[in-house]
Amino acid sequence: MAEVNTSPPVSEASKETPVGTTPPADRKHTPAARRKRRRNLLILAVALVVLVSGWFLWRYLSTYESTDDAQADVHLYPVSSRVSGYVVRVNVNDNEWVEKGAVLVEIDPTDYQVALAQAQANLASAEATARSLNITVPITSVNTSSQLSFAASGIEEASAAVAAAEKQLSAAHAQLESAEANDVKAQYDLHRYKLLVDKREVSAQRYDQAFASAKSSTATVAAAQANESAARQFIQQVQSRLAQATANHQSAQTGPQQVSSTRARVQAALADVQEKRALVQQARLNLQYTKILAPVSGEVNKTVVVGLNIQQGQRLLTVVPLDEIWVTANFKETQLKQMQLGQRAEIHVDSSGRTLRGRVDSIAGATGPLFSLLPPENATGNYVKIVQRVPVKIVLDPGENRDRRLRPGMNVVPSVYLR
């Protein structure tokens, strides 16, 4: 009897796959494969995030320039005395806020009050002297004015006669020159006709006419010379009259000289009055200078105390105008490529942690070392290239430092936005 096979049929795939291994179709769904796919996706996502973040970070960092080499600055106003004296009152304390025009220090005004009174008395005396001299001037002037007027009229008449005589002399001289020119021409014509009549090329009658013209021109020259000589003699006469009139005028000027002398004394007295008025004004100013005022609004740092004898020009206080503070940022020269005036800036203050807003006001005309007492000289010694820094002035927006916590000299970190 034949044996029956009751085992299940074996497929061709099962024949090729070893026992205990996973088929290829099921290998993609194993835990290891899934973990590998997740790891690859995570790496890809992280790389993509890093690239995108780096691109955004680069774009952000390229929009501004920042430096930690910066500090707050302000113009300090030194207050000194314009007069010397004894300090009787100091109206402010250290670090106290004062307004412009406030009285800071008072100097003993007694000496300057006495000086003002003395100057006013000297002025009154000088004005009285000037008034007394003004009275004598009209009296002397009336006695001599008539004589001076008569002498002056004589000079004017003689001067007019001299001018008329000079014109006559000029006319006579012109006539003489014209007559001499005509005589020269007539003599040349006579000489030419003489040659022609000798050759019988012209008639004797024509020669006689030329001879008469030459003789007439010679006589005209003689008459013109006589007229010129007479005009010269007349000028001498009128000049003598002018000299006489001038002498009379000088004689008549004796009285006006006295008037002039009196007037000169009056002018000197008036000048003395002006000098005394100037001294009074100076004494008044010195009295005002005994009160030392604040030039600007700000906080005060003082070195003066009551009882101190101070000298003219001695420094007593320093006023710090905190409302006028700005930031000086020393940027590297490589950071100024796109920096322009008016660009927006943010200033981080180290002391308070606050961030203030401002704008670029100006860029210095040279690098920082050139403003030093001994600027570097690159033409000597070995040269090492160093990136230089350029001061940039950043002003705060209105109201940013209203609490006045930002003080000159404090460290700040400004960031200037280039876009």
Domain ranges of the chain: 65-74+323-417, 77-109+289-318, 112-285
Residues 249-277: what's their mean pLDDT?
78
The C-alpha atoms of residue 162 and residue 231 are separated, in whole angstroms, by 11
Quick check: do 65-74+323-417 and 112-285 share a fold? no
**pLDDT (average), residues 45-71:** 79
Residue 200 has what pLDDT?
65
pLDDT, the chain, mean: 80
Read off the amino acid at residue 340.
Q
Instruction: Report helix angle 204-252 to 110-198, nearest 10.
Output: 160
CA distance 246 to 236: 15
Percent of the chain at pLDDT exceeding 90: 41
Average pLDDT rounded to a whole number, residues 46-69: 78
Q: Which homologous superfamily is 112-285 in?
A: Helix Hairpins (1.10.287.620)
Average pLDDT value for residue range 326-338: 92
Residues constituting the chain:
419
Confidence band, pLDDT 50/70/90 cuts, at residue 283: very high
pLDDT-derived band at 256 (thresholds 50, 70, 90) equals low
Q: Apex CA 190: angle with CA 189 and CA 194, to 5°?
A: 115
The per-residue pLDDT for 197 is: 62
228 Cβ partners below 8 Å, 6+ apart? 169, 172, 173, 175, 176
Q: Which residue has the higher pLDDT, 150 or 3?
A: 150
Burial class from Cβ neighbours inside 10 Å (0-12, 13-18, 19+) for residue 102 reads: middle
Cα dihedral value 21, 25, 26, 28, nearest 10? 110
Average pLDDT rounded to a whole number, residues 279-307: 94
What's the pLDDT score for residue 52? 76
Per-residue pLDDT at 314:
93
pLDDT tens, position by position, 17-44: 454 455 555 555 677 777 777 888 888 8
Q: Say if CB 234 and CB 161 are below 8 A apart.
A: no
Between 192-196, 308-312, 371-375, the lowest mean confidence (pLDDT) is in: 192-196
In the prediction, which pLDDT does 368 show? 81
Domain 65-74+323-417: which CATH class? Answer: mainly beta
Tell me phi and psi for residue 195, to 5 degrees. Answer: -65, -40
- What share of the chain in percent tops pLDDT 70? 68
Q: What is the pLDDT of residue 109?
A: 95
* 348-389 residue pLDDT tens: 999 989 999 999 999 998 988 887 777 777 776 777 788 889
Q: What is the pTM of this model?
A: 0.57
Q: Is residue 192's pLDDT more than 90?
A: no
- Condensed to tens digits (0 to 9), the pLDDT of residues 88-147 reads 999 999 999 999 999 999 999 999 999 999 999 999 999 998 888 777 666 666 666 666
- Domain 77-109+289-318 belongs in CATH node 2.40.50.100: yes
What per-residue confidence (pLDDT) applies to 345? 94
